[in-house]
Chains A and B, each alone.
Chain A
């Protein structure tokens, strides 16, 4: 339950979000001239009487509400922001894929335009890389990390897995075409294409089976059903549990099990699938994402704001150059930015390291 004291604080902060017009006096002067021309008579006598009354003579200044500077992500979560080298020893570009934990980041090594040559793991404590293995047919920019393996798909729908402990990639099956959603369970690869239809194949290889024709995979075990192109219901494919999605006056809605993000009344907003917990997100860009199932981010230009939906803490990323989210199919766990021409390092926020 909210309490009254929140109100003064919220209004006090709200009024600090706008800049006053710079030409206030000019505007007032124009209005006075116009008023004089029209010779309009205002009957403010009542007001004057009130003002002349005793109580208002003791004018009290509105309480000054201090404006807290918005912390940058490095100030808000110093434990989670790290610097990574831009390129490998052999001169190839690193692209962050996902966090494997608080101190390990999975990175892809680009050997050409949208061609990924291998995967490496960056240890943020020792600041060293370890090669995981080469990645045949990894032309798409996305990977998916499971408990013990990482998966990707080739241009013709070829499905590959590689152990997270390192080693040789194995092809486990073929999808019908480009894969739009991919999950790794302890026993299977599960995927969807751009439309509905959820499919799986055992990690050891075997027969592909369709497990739903009306849903689209979100991230295992969750899949989404649609009505008129809008997400309508989240379905847990393991337990059968369903969560209805509240999309009232919203568009461009995407949901992860605990949060939805989309445009509501024309502004970027986040809410619980049941419609509760509505919050609007800052930023000039009306594009945003849910990160790690728990954070919301608004994209640049200008600034990008990361909001921890559980604690309410926020951090701002002010550099918009080369801003990107981790190249994973499921909700991204890393954000990176600030790779300028000539720079040797760029910054990365590891959401699994946020305490």
Chain B
């Protein structure tokens, strides 16, 4: 098996879940990850950090309006396999899906991927100040208190 194929086999699932965190939709997540992996495959030898490359391509492609092929969903979706209320978190998940793409992406990178604002700024190609303001707006919309933010950042 080629190294690229091996990479897809080993990392595909985790990358798909990351795509699902960004998009909130399985079909869009599959599109996003497959498109980014196809790009990686074409540049395999020229890329140093394959996983970082794919993740960066995915998040940029997702928030970049030029690449939007699907309609923007106006209503929050519930997860397809619907195990959610088992955790009582469906409402927060649904509200996350209703956020603008860039704000949601910042939250996913910061709280799910556990990245610093500096890393997020590099990934998205925006300033650190923009990362902070996007995160702050998103947290306000979700009515989330900053109990840990000051200590963290």
* Residue A194 CB within 8 A of the other chain: no
List of B residues within 8 angstroms of A53 by Cβ: 122
Are A13 and B57 interface neighbours, CB within 8 A?
A: no
Nearest CB of B to A51, in Å:
5
Given contacts A2-B142, A24-B30, A28-B34, contact A62 B114 (CB under 8 A): yes
User: How many contacts between A and B, using CB within 8 angstroms?
Assistant: 215
| CB closest residue in chain B, given A76 | B86
Which of A119-127, A154-162, A275-283, A321-329 participates in binding chain B? A275-283
What string of 1s and 0s marks CB contacts (under 8 Å) between A44-63 and chain B? 10111011110111011011
Which B52-89 residues have C-beta < 8 A from chain A? 52-53, 56-57, 60, 75-89
* Residue B3 CB within 8 A of the other chain: no
Are A20 and B12 interface neighbours, CB within 8 A?
A: yes
Nearest CB of B to A44, in Å:
6
Which of A4-12, A225-233, A344-352 participates in binding chain B? A4-12
A62 to B115, CA, bound (A): 9
B residues sitting closer than 8 Å to A (CB atoms) are 5, 8-9, 12-14, 16-18, 20-21, 24, 26, 29-30, 33-35, 37-39, 41-43, 46-49, 51-53, 56-57, 60, 75-94, 96, 107-108, 111-115, 118-119, 122-123, 125, 139, 142-149
Chosen A-B contacts, 27 in total, with CB atoms closer than 8 Å, are A2-B142, A3-B144, A4-B139, A5-B147, A13-B84, A18-B20, A18-B80, A20-B30, A25-B8, A31-B35, A31-B37, A36-B42, A42-B42, A44-B57, A47-B53, A51-B53, A56-B56, A57-B49, A62-B113, A267-B78, A279-B90, A279-B91, A280-B84, A281-B85, A282-B83, A298-B85, A314-B86
